[in-house]
Amino acid sequence: MANKMERWTINGNWTVEIPTKEIEKNMKDFEGISKEDAVRMWFEDNEYLDSGEKATITENTEKVKRRYEKSGKPRKASTRERKVDTEKLELIELVKALLDENAETTVKGVKTETEINFDFRGNEYTFKLTKHRPPKEEK
């Protein structure tokens, strides 16, 4: 669950988001103080204000935009067709042929053109093939 935040402005310049539970904690710890005083304490504790500094603090009533939350809409499936890398496929086929020649090796499967799963002397192995980009040329 996301923390609820409140927006407060100092001297009309800075807008700061403060966790609601921090304000409530200050109000609970120091009975009888106003919400604005609890916010002022939070600003002082977090070094937005010097202790006793005169400042105008106002609450922003704008709705706080939530970030980093999962959308309620399901994601649309991609219709793009995956391109097969023919060089990698050729290399995987060569490795598979070598493994098939060995009597102690049993090829279990080939996953696209990227990996081969096989058994060798009772142990399972996987070869994964990675194609690296060429290095960037210096200007």
SS3 content of the chain, % helix, strand, coil (to 5): 25, 25, 50
pTM, two decimals, is: 0.42
In the chain, where the domains are located: 5-60, 86-128
Q: For residue 67, what pLDDT is reported?
A: 58
CA distance 87 to 114: 11
Lay out the sheet containing 115-120: strands in order across: 105-111, 115-120, 123-128
C-beta separation of 105 from 99 below 8 A: yes
Label the pairing between strands 14-19 and 5-10. antiparallel
* Residue-by-residue pLDDT tens, the chain, 139 positions: 557 887 877 777 777 888 888 888 888 888 888 888 888 888 888 877 776 667 777 776 665 555 555 666 777 787 888 888 889 989 999 998 998 888 888 888 888 888 999 998 889 999 898 989 888 887 6
Alpha-carbon span 122 to 105, nearest angstrom: 9
